[in-house]
Chain A
Amino acid sequence: MSKTDDIIKREISRIGNYKNLKMRYFVGSSNYDQELWCDGGLTFGYNGYIYGSNDFAWYRDEPWEHEFTGKTVNQKPIIVVEGTHCLNTKSYGTAQLQRFHHAYGAFLNNIISVYYLKEGKHPIRHDLLLAAYNASKYHRGLGNKGAYIVTDQIDELDKLVKLVGDFGEDSTEVQTYIEELLDNMKLRFYEHFERNFLDKGKNFEDYLFKRAVIKTGKGHWVKFLGPRKDSIVDPSIRYGHIVLGEAYVTKYLLKEIEVEDFIYFFPLMSKKDIEEITATLTSDKEWLLLTNSADWTIVSLDEIDFEDKTLTSGIIPFRTLNLNDNRKEWNVYRKRIAENIKAGKYNYI
């Protein structure tokens, strides 16, 4: 068993209680953070589904109804934080995405939510910054009173807590600061986008292609690389968390060009695989969120009829082959999948 990120909670806890804001967090081997907020934990549900647990929160002693359960408690969550130090470890890549849905669940409940990735050797992913920015803008535009902030600066979190404690979360001071943080997130994305795409004559669709997201010849938007069955069912890999994070990030990247939904293509899974996983992971939060979203449709290999029949038969062995050992061969098929989808050379079955 390993315990990680206690040290990040410790760092955050040094901000302390402030004015009428009190801290809630758990260190050590307890799993209390996985309880719902109204049961004393750091987890939130929304629209029938439970999202990932968080690491930290500030709350005020006043009534709050968790719509998910209909329960009212006397601690109102004001700022919720999911923290990680992955930017200074080897798990700095797609692992950044695996926690997206944690603070996101709190955000959907109109709470100021912060995904804090402690500053390290590696930067915050640019797609994560834009996705959280777009999520904030989209939902705040619909009346959400929270925000989804992504930051690597503990000072920004500290300032946010102090402003909320001094002026209240609905105050002009806090809302102005939130907008400043959001603008900063977008700026950081655009600095990367400008340098690596615009300056090279490329556009946002080219950026999305790098994220395995393309517009097909039939007008669909498709994220064309999904997981294998074994990576979902193996709990030590936690790949389901990453796939879910990829789905949410894709959803909100597409908001940049006003696309409302997309297809998540799982070429390395059959429909039967998906059914078997569903029958096994009956209470797995991440799988439930992934397979019940209104914002994307999961499509397996046997639900797509490629015009090039050799493509389908060629993909199947990669369901069980070691992809690292067969990277060169798999890359050929990835390219063919992308080309055929982009050209619209497929039909739904």
Chain B
Amino acid sequence: MFKGEFDLKYTTENIINTLTKNLGFSVVDDAFLGTLVELNNYDAYKYCVITGQGYLKEDEPEKRFILTRDYFRVFNQAMEYELQFGIFDEKNISLFETPHIHIEQFPRIIEGSKFIAFVEYKNNKDLLKKLDDIIQYIKEKGDEPGDYIICPVRLGKLVDFEPFFEYVVTEIFNRMGYITDNQIPFFYGVGTPDCAVYELDNLVSSLSQYTGLNGFSIFELSLVNTPLAKFKIKHTPLERINNFNAMVGEVKTGSVDGSQIKKYIDREIFDEAVEIIPHKKDISEYAGLINFNEDGKVVFNMLRKQKVDKFSQESYINWLIDYMKYYILASYTDEEFIFFKDKYKLNSINFVEEINRIDIVDLASIVYK
């Protein structure tokens, strides 16, 4: 079980190193803003969605245009098909939250370059004041505030960084060619796993002729038809560290008792389970460990094989493939989606049934043509 001190300090320097050393992002220095991490627009959007950090925007209540993974909700529970309010307004089967809609609301998503600026602060009032100062500085420079993504660094509040580490780890797995998801729908009363990783190489390969993706976060299927897609670059593939079909991950920046991840393991769907605890040194008996060394580099510690019920895992993967189809549809514009529904005579009664019936690669060939 966990022992030991918290050695890894969540300083701004650590956070920057985590991004640069693991994901190869470059840095630039600014006299006022300090060290900035530079991203292309595609990676910036993906980073924002998974971390919940936002683009600087003066007229927003939090001075940021914030997107979260929760906006892209499809189903609430694994193995179930109750459409939820998120990507779709489930009442009338219309698109509610999609990348197209986000770009319409905030065109800067696809303009200019993007930089992550790290802002240390004490409390929310302090943060908002600093953001006002930053906005003023950027405007005086002749730049666009919307080109800056704000990573708030509140020292002593480690839990703020959990989505950040979710992003880093799942991005690494994407570059290994895996499919990942964050804040995944799971079973009622069991909880919401922070992330999951799936080895579905055949599917990735079949879809890649339409998506151009080798390993992706599921919500990226909604980006393929959007203006963001042209900014996507092929990152250097990373070598895989183990063989598995499905892995579940739980991110913690504080103390851990393992009770949560054990609930996920008990469903016997995942043949790997990892705790993602940047500062932890000792591996538990019940799950593997992903942590970070003092230079910010990720360390994959011994992974522990879990008991799997093959039928449960297979059923779950089949459901997952259905689930992914809705993200493909989310890459439509409103007009395209209405046309699609009319063409295939879809309505609120038959929508889910009919979409589930279509083969996912066939759907990709229709939507991504």
Contacts and interface: CB of A to CB of B under 8 A. Distances in A.
Interface of A: 1-8, 10-11, 22-30, 32, 35, 39-41, 85, 88-90, 118-121, 236
17 contacts: A1-B159, A3-B52, A3-B68, A5-B70, A6-B70, A23-B61, A24-B61, A26-B62, A27-B66, A28-B54, A29-B160, A29-B162, A39-B124, A40-B123, A41-B124, A85-B84, A120-B85
A30 B124 contact: yes
A8 B97 CA distance: 11
Contact of A88 (B68, B82, B188, B251): B82
A339 B267 CA distance: 42
B76 interface: yes
How many chain B residues sit at the interface, stated as a range, is 35 or more
A79 to B, nearest CB: 14
Given A3-B70, A3-B183, A4-B70, A28 B163 contact: yes
A25 B62 CA distance: 8
Given A32-B124, A85-B84, A2 B68 contact: no
Given A2-B192, A10-B71, A88-B85, 8 more contacts: A7-B71, A7-B97, A23-B61, A26-B61, A32-B124, A35-B124, A88-B84, A89-B84
A334 B251 CA distance: 42
A7 B163 contact: no
B345 interface: no
Contacts of A8: 85
A118 B82 CA distance: 15
A1 to B, nearest CB: 6
B325 interface: no
Contact of B251 (A1, A22, A25, A40): A1
A85 B85 contact: yes
A4 B192 CA distance: 10
Contacts of A25: 61-62
B190 to A, nearest CB: 10
Contacts of B211: none
A28 B71 contact: no
A24 to B, nearest CB: 5
Contacts of B82: 88-89, 121
Interface in B85-125: 85-86, 90-91, 96-97, 123-125
Given A23-B61, A32-B124, A7 B85 contact: yes
Contacts of A4: 70
Contacts of B251: 1
B333 interface: no
Contacts of A118: 85
Contacts of B54: 28
B275 interface: no
A236 B62 CA distance: 29
A39 B125 CA distance: 8
B57 interface: no
B52 A7 contact: no
Nearest to A1: B162
Across the A-B interface, the 3 shortest Cβ-Cβ residue pairs: A28-B52, A2-B192, A6-B70
B285 to A, nearest CB: 22
A144 to B, nearest CB: 27
Contacts of A35: 123-124
B20 to A, nearest CB: 23
A7 B124 contact: no
A3 B69 CA distance: 9
Contacts of B280: none
Given A11-B85, A29-B163, A22 B61 contact: yes
Given A7-B97, A30-B124, A90-B77, A1 B194 contact: yes
Contacts of A32: 124
B258 interface: no
B85 A27 contact: no
Among A11, A25, A39, A88, find the residue whose CB has the most chain B CB atoms closer than 10 A.
A88
Nearest to A2: B192
B53 interface: yes
A32 B61 CA distance: 12
B183 A29 contact: no
B15 to A, nearest CB: 15
B95 to A, nearest CB: 13
B124 to A, nearest CB: 5
Contacts of B91: 119
A90 B69 CA distance: 20
Interface string B223-252: 000000000000000000000000000010
Among B66, B123, B163, find the residue whose CB has the most chain A CB atoms closer than 10 A.
B66
B73 interface: yes
A93 B35 CA distance: 50
Contacts of A88: 76, 82, 84-85, 90
A120 B54 CA distance: 30
A90 B251 CA distance: 25
Contacts of B62: 25-27
Among B70, B76, B90, B96, find the residue whose CB has the most chain A CB atoms closer than 10 A.
B70
B68 A28 contact: yes
A8 B194 CA distance: 20
B137 to A, nearest CB: 23
A91 to B, nearest CB: 8
A22 B62 CA distance: 12
Contacts of A24: 61
Nearest to B128: A40
Contact of A6 (B71, B90, B162, B192): B71
A1 B77 CA distance: 16
A104 B61 CA distance: 23
B61 A89 contact: no
B188 A29 contact: no
